[in-house]
Chain A
Amino acid sequence: MEDPLGPGVREVEHTADVGIVVEASDFEQLLHRAAVGVFALMYGKADADLGPTDLFNPLGTRVHLGASDDQGNQAGMPRPITVVGSDPAAILLKWLRELLFLHETEGLAYRRATFDVVDEERVSATVWMGPEPTPAACEFKGVTYHDLDVTPGVDGWRARVILDV
């Protein structure tokens, strides 16, 4: 069965918030997989079987915050992102923060990225975002340092991230 949060990503239990564990062959893949996993969680990709999204929304009312409202649909436009940090954990946290900021201000979801620079203190990438057909099911207020762990190993990288809901 296909992993609903994307390859190498699984959700971990947290009483109040949401966490993921990500495994990847290298740091670049870890960043991509974490982004895919976070947006899959936000858009309820694992919850499609729960019930019709609009079951409790008979009016279908929603007003997007995104750029598409007042500046035209900018989906597909590449966006440069650069983050610097003291270690891989800080890089991952800031990478996800950047993507969530773009999501909240433009209403677009992560699609893919090409990475120009990837090391343990700096990442420079071009990111493509796009609209989702259904509204996001949850909002992540922040990416936390709580239990944040990014570890290189013999077989690749592993990360654990908790997001505030």
Chain B
Amino acid sequence: MPSDSTIQVRQVDRYRWLVPKQGPMRVDGLVFADRRLMADVRGDQALQQVVNVATLPGIVGHSIAMPDIHWGYGFPIGGVAAFDPDEGGVVSPGGVGYDINCGVRLLRSDLVVGDIRPKLRELMNQIMRDVPAGVGVGQRDLRLGPQDLLGVLEKGARWAVEHGFGVPADLDRIESGGALSGADTAAVSPRALERGRKQLGTVGSGNHFVEVGYVDEVYDEHAAHVMGLDLDTVTVFIHSGSRGLGHQVCTDFIDVMLRATAKYGIDLPDKQLACAPLDSDEGKLYLGAMNAAANFAFANRQVMMHGVREAIERVLGRSWTKLGLDLVYDVAHNNAKWEEHQVDGRRRKLCVHRKGATRAFPPGNAELPAAYAEIGQPVLIPGDMGRYSFVLAGTERASQETFASTCHGAGRQMSRTQAKKSVRRDGRDLRREFEEMGIEVRAASFATVAEEIPEAYKDVADVVDVVHQAGIGRKVVRLRPLGVLKG
């Protein structure tokens, strides 16, 4: 595997590494990592991708990498970059990724572990029935007509609520209210619509999941209580995105952007960074299509959550409202959004790309629901399927240093091939291993579980400690898995 040993890097403090401008870089790179994670970062092409992003027109501040950074395509996964249209800034589908608006949401409940443990097997089976997962798997009962699909693309999670999937109060607990404005449904190709038609409310595959867990450690009692996440509280994590619809939008627009790159004379170190000026026709068209796909993702997670609520109702025999199955928050980690940030002493409207990075607004931000105004935005950081996940809160320092962004997960440290080799070499009995950990695992295929073994990922606690210590996120609680449905 190629590495980035020739790139100059200077340690700023214990958790920050500067990649000074070199070659065609327009800004410095800034990597958040401790010494050990930084060694991992230098082990593949991720750092080169930080450098590549820094060469794009109109980038301001830094080309930023979170501690869960790893080698992606175009942008690194765990990359953040902001572009100013007044400085020729660009938008790049490679800075968003194929899974547009992929994200996570977290439900809390009035249940504690003892309530759920005896029925866990039954519950995971029911979730598997009600929330379809796996490749080529669609919704049996929800196949959208053309008008429905356009409604989803325009209204996002609101469409789902209007059609009985959840309640209006859910919308207040979703980033951007569960719908991005400026969705341009005409910019979404017939192919993208065809791919999305049967996939609303489905998990997909890869690292997507539904995870039943519980709060096993509290770091900030006040914030935890405000979020409804007191010790021992049963929770449900949901991770999915815009499915085939979003993948197709990205595919369509990479070709558009490659032509635009030539048209506007933009030099690229990697074709997958294909981009167009934000104020160009191509840039506007992509943002319109991307917003529509993002709304599909919000609606997808809303419908999935409805399926989870119904599954829990069926197994426990009580309504979800009586069980207090409320949405804590839904946050995306793959998108490009218009936001205002302070750069070089002045407030600017920027297009912030987050690819495998989470928005993390500080206390007092106007977009936050009233309940979170004082504590900051809940930031949801899933780990691997065997250890733990974290909930953090957004901080003012993230607002100043990272365009209000923080990490999004553990980050892979083994390729999928390596993970499967490890399972094969050691002759591991994965089902028994998870049973011994007290975790009920469901997956459409065995290979998915083998690819997602806990050690395939960095320890998310290490990643979260870096963002906590660096001040770009504040630990609130840790969650332990009880049952996992993988895609």
**Which residues of A approach B to under 8 Å, CB–CB?**
11, 13-18, 42, 44, 47, 49-59, 61-66, 97, 101, 103-105, 107, 134-139, 141-148, 162, 164-165
Contact = CB atoms under 8 A, between A and B. Distances in A.
A59 B129 contact: yes
A16 B135 contact: no
Nearest to A148: B271
Interface string B116-137: 0000000001001100101111
Contacts of A62: 132, 134, 136-137, 444
Interface residues of chain B: helix, strand, loop or mixed (majority): mixed
A139 B417 CA distance: 15
Nearest to A85: B255
A15 B135 contact: no
Contact of A44 (B244, B413, B447): B447
B412 interface: yes
A104 B135 CA distance: 8
Interface string B416-436: 111010011000001100000
Contact of B445 (A135, A147, A162): A135
B71 A14 contact: yes
A56 B453 CA distance: 13
B109 interface: no
B77 interface: yes
A25 B376 CA distance: 60
Interface residues of chain A: helix, strand, loop or mixed (majority): loop
A18 B73 CA distance: 11
Contact of A55 (B77, B97, B431): B431
A15 B40 CA distance: 11
A55 B431 CA distance: 8
Interface stretch (B53-61, B157-165, B168-176, B199-207): B199-207
Nearest to B486: A56
B135 A17 contact: no
B251 interface: yes
Contacts of B191: 101
Contacts of B204: 139
20 contacts: A15-B46, A15-B412, A16-B71, A17-B73, A47-B447, A47-B450, A49-B424, A50-B450, A55-B431, A55-B449, A57-B445, A58-B125, A105-B194, A135-B136, A135-B444, A139-B487, A143-B251, A144-B73, A146-B271, A148-B271
B137 to A, nearest CB: 5
A66 B136 contact: yes
B451 interface: yes
Contacts of A49: 424
A27 to B, nearest CB: 20
**In the complex, the 6 A-B pairs of residues with the closest C-beta atoms, listed nearest first:** A146-B73, A136-B135, A145-B271, A141-B98, A137-B447, A56-B443
A49 B447 CA distance: 10
A2 B71 CA distance: 31
A95 to B, nearest CB: 13
Contacts of A101: 191, 195, 248
B270 A138 contact: no
A50 B128 contact: no
A11 B423 CA distance: 17
Contacts of A18: 416-417
A142 B251 contact: yes
Nearest to B97: A164
A51 B450 contact: yes
A20 to B, nearest CB: 11
Interface string B41-69: 00010100000000000000000000000
B442 interface: yes
A165 B441 CA distance: 21
Contacts of A142: 98, 247, 250-251, 254
B354 interface: no
Contact of A50 (B44, B254, B272, B447): B447
A65 B198 contact: yes
Contact of B418 (A13, A55, A97, A138): A13
Contacts of B99: 141
